[in-house]
Amino acid sequence: MSPEIVVGDLPGLRGRLAREFDDAARAAIAARGRLVVALPGGSVAEAFFAALAEAPVDWSSTDFFWIDERAVPPGDPDSNYGLASRLWLTPAGVPAARIHRMAGDERDLALAARRASEELTAVAGDPPRLDVVLVGVGEDGHVASIFPGREVLTPGAVGLPSAHEAPVEAVYDAPKPPPRRLTMTLPVLLAARRVVVAALGRAKAQAIRDALHASDAVTPLAHLLRTARAPLVLLDRDAADLLPT
Ligand code: 6PG
């Protein structure tokens, strides 16, 4: 299904995202007793998380995962978990048992990826099916820590992960610093009940335009938006600047 695109100012986009989480929470808690979400780092986290902390959503029944993590300790300013903890999870009083951070500070990243995969499948099923994944956008069209040209984008990766594919992988050579990271794979993002992509600022405009309108675009973002069931795209006016009117 083609993506639903919402262009607006930041307060409007924050309100829309809070409603998305609220709708998903009501449906998921009624059906399965909990909401399971995965979060990004970067500018989307900075712009939205404090507002989400105040939204009237049942965060105490929500399990929080991350779509990716940088290989840094949780207290490091670059930690995606640390950012979410400061802006959202601590202010909202989320119980510790609901917070499933990826151990970016583990020296053996392959081991950290295996543990994160196990924790994810224990909560979200095997293969995992998240209720909501919130995804930021790189200027090069990367999502999570899946960068253009990486093997997780091969056609075989489309659809649900097979029993042989781990849902979380270690990344050792990301072009965006830091190079060492952990990431959910594209099949896990694609399997989510709701994929929400958010992009803010003029620097993201070309990646957004290509992903939505260039039929030959092969970036992870293009693949995600083409293949996810009913993605929602939240854009400020600068990020939407190159879209046809
Ligand atoms: C991360 C993110 C990553 C991010 C994009 C965009 O760990 O860095 O999860 O995928 O969303 O790189 O980041 P900015 O919005 O900060 O440019």
Q: Which atom of ligand 1 is nearest to the CA of 44?
A: 15
Given ligand 1 and candidates 68, 76, 134, 143, which is best to mutate, with the most ligand atoms within 8 Å of its CB? 68
Average pLDDT across the chain, whole number: 93
Given ligand 1 and candidates 102, 143, 233, which is best to mutate, with the most ligand atoms within 8 Å of its CB? 143
Picking from 68-82, 144-158, 215-229, which range would have the lowest pLDDT averaged per residue? 144-158
Q: How do residues 134-147 score in pLDDT, each as one tens digit?
A: 999 999 999 999 99
Q: Is the pLDDT of residue 24 over 90?
A: yes
Q: Is the pLDDT of residue 213 over 70?
A: yes
What percentage of the chain exceeds 90 in pLDDT?
88
pTM over 0.85: yes
pLDDT (mean) for 78-92: 98
141 lines ligand 1 (CB under 6 A): no
pLDDT (mean) for 208-234: 94
Q: Is the pLDDT of residue 231 over 60?
A: yes
* Residue 60 buriedness (CB in 10 A; 0-12 / 13-18 / 19+): exposed
Q: Which atom of ligand 1 is nearest to the CA of 200?
A: 15
Q: Which atom of ligand 1 is nearest to the CA of 40?
A: 9
Q: Which atom of ligand 1 is nearest to the CA of 143?
A: 10
Q: How do residues 108-139 score in pLDDT, each as one tens digit?
A: 999 999 999 999 999 999 999 999 999 999 99
pLDDT (mean) for 174-182: 95
Q: What was the pLDDT predicted at 132? A: 98
Q: Is the pLDDT of residue 156 over 90?
A: no
